[in-house]
Structure 1
Amino acid sequence: MACRNENARVFGSGRIPARAGVGLKPEHYRTILETAPDIGFFEVHAENYMGAGGPPHRYLTEIRERYPLSLHGVGLSIGADRPLDRSHLNRLKGLIERYEPGLFSEHLAWSTHDTAYFDDLLPVPYTEQSLSRVVSHIDEVQDTLGRQMLLENPSTYLAFAESTYLETDFIAEIVRQTGCGLLLDVNNVHVASTNQQWDPISYIDDYPLGSVQEIHLGGHTPEADEKGRPLLIDTHDRPVDAIVWDLYEHTIGRLGPVPTLIEWDANVPTWPELKAEAERAEAAMFHAHRKDQAHAVAG
């Protein structure tokens, strides 16, 4: 597939261009195959394709033949205080060998305890003990897969009293010790910054941006806590908020164009609406980059 910007950087072995992509949803399989839309890449949740065959694999195979693919895991439980599930990791390895995605990412979170699997991605305390555990798990994943993993920053609602690292410093140390890459979820930055009264611009400026290979943008639900203070819930069920677009442009101004995904996982919209969000992201990406270049020349 031709990339609209011939000078766009590419990321990963599957050559994902620095353009906007969307999450691949079954509701859109046929439209994508019948209309061949101009889109940078598609991303899928690994756990949705761990079965041996069936229609999901048939459609994904056809789409992968035409478009770059990013694979996003939600089930490794990188932050869990227990060994990684080797059977899950081996299934993941098989999926990566089958589809050869340009990028593979997982979350800085945990979702398992003993034999229980939780629906939510739960945060970890930023301590030396947690750091050692996360580093060990990422090393195991990268050694097993034979490739680099990207780690996504979490959306959080409370801070652990025992944390001894700032989140950005904790993530930077993980990168230093493992050589993993990063997936920067800009909506998560806004959600966590609102909920914990951080400065989102300072968060972005302090983040190890040199290791970022993909960005996520998504919608969130505004609520209020028991004291009436703003509380944002990371729901991925609506368009990207205006404040998140502004934060994204700031990020691109610091980082340059990077593959950017529109995450919309619930209340999935029509294909035209989803594609329009991707087009807005791509326009914002190159507008912010050109503006930054113009400022650099003027300076």
Structure 2
Amino acid sequence: MIKLTELPADAGICLKPEHFDAIPSKVDGHLWFEVHAENYLMQGGPRLAKLQEVAQRFPLSIHGVGASLGGPNPLNPEHLKRLARLVNSVPTAAFSEHIAWSGADGNYMGNLMPTPITTQSLLRTAENIDQLQNAIQRPILIENPANYLNFKSDMSEAEFMMSLVNKTGCGILLDVNNLFISANNTGIDPQQYIGNLEATAIGEIHVAGHSVDPIEKDLLIDSHDSDVSNAVWALLNDALSHIGPCPVLIERDANLPPFAELLAERNIARELIQSSKVVSYE
């Protein structure tokens, strides 16, 4: 039986094609990489071949952004076939997806829209998670969103996530940057949120940079275009104190720095992982 994740309890980096040739031959610890699934759904070609080459050297996490798990409709069967083909063609240590919806009735919006935190939505999202897990023949990790508004809900988001874990056997990708943004924008208590998640359910953590909305100065945006802030590093440390040693990813999707700078941020995460005291999940 495949575990929630086969990633090492070390820090990884979100890998972009611009950095394929910048990966050093030797790095400290057990470096791993994560890529967005939708960038590699083609059949063949140099980009996929390069990813397969990287995956022979380093553990690889595949992160989906377009399945629309929290949407009102069943998942797109053609998209599921392409995801399954990717997972079968590239050694995959973990697979994750967002709890969000990005399409309805055959229309794709190209964005991650908030999933209603309701009992009805819980049942539909659980069905979609089951559908995806059956398609790729492995459990997935589901990621908490970055929230910008308060919506009426039937339960807390952490309770929603844990209910999905219990219903489907999936795990959680705890995005600490998203949690920090949600806390700022909607007033939730991030410590309480983390405490309401079972440590054994968390298979991966994300950290990233964020930005201030240029108009609404009190609003934070999940932009992934800057260094991880000191406040997010502090929240990561709090999360690791609850979870124990766990794979932590440095996300960067815009304003890409040299690969050496991403390695330097990765080393900060490594130090926090190594100093966490709780026994790791199994």
TM-score normalised by the chain length of structure 2: 0.93
Aligned equivalent of 2:82, options 66, 91, 102: 91
Q: Report the RMSD for the aligned CA atoms in angstroms.
A: 1.8
Corresponding position of 1:217: 207
**Distance change (3 Å), C-alpha of 1:221 and 1:210:** same
* C-alpha distance after superposition, 1:231-288 (max 9, x if no partner): 110011111111111111011111111011000011111111111111111011112x
How far is 1:225 from its partner? 6.5
**Superposition pairs for residues 10-49 of structure 1, below 5 Å?**
12=3, 15-32=6-23, 35-38=25-28, 39-49=30-40
Corresponding position of 2:228: 240
Any conservation in 2 of the 1:106–1:152 contact (CA below 8 Å)?
A: yes
Q: Classify the secondary structure of the residue corresponding to 2:213.
A: strand
Any conservation in 2 of the 1:13–1:101 contact (CA below 8 Å)?
A: no
Provide the identity percentage.
43
How far is 1:207 from its partner? 2.1
Structure 1 residues not aligned, in runs of 5+: 1-10, 294-299
Aligned equivalent of 1:280, options 256, 262, 268: 268
Q: Classify the secondary structure of the residue corresponding to 2:71.
A: coil
One-letter identity of the residue aligned with 2:154: T
**Superposition pairs for residues 1-299 of structure 1, below 5 Å?**
12=3, 15-32=6-23, 35-38=25-28, 39-161=30-152, 163-223=153-213, 230-287=218-275, 289-290=276-277
How far is 1:12 from its partner? 4.5
**Distance change (3 Å), C-alpha of 1:224 and 1:198:** farther
Instruction: Extract structure 1 runs of 4+ deviating beyond 6 A.
Output: none
| Structure with max Cα Rg | 1
Structure 2 residues not aligned, in runs of 5+: none
**Distance change (3 Å), C-alpha of 1:121 and 1:196:** same
Task: Give the count of matched residue pairs.
Answer: 277
* C-alpha distance after superposition, 1:196-234 (max 9, x if no partner): 0112111111223320000000011023765x6x21100
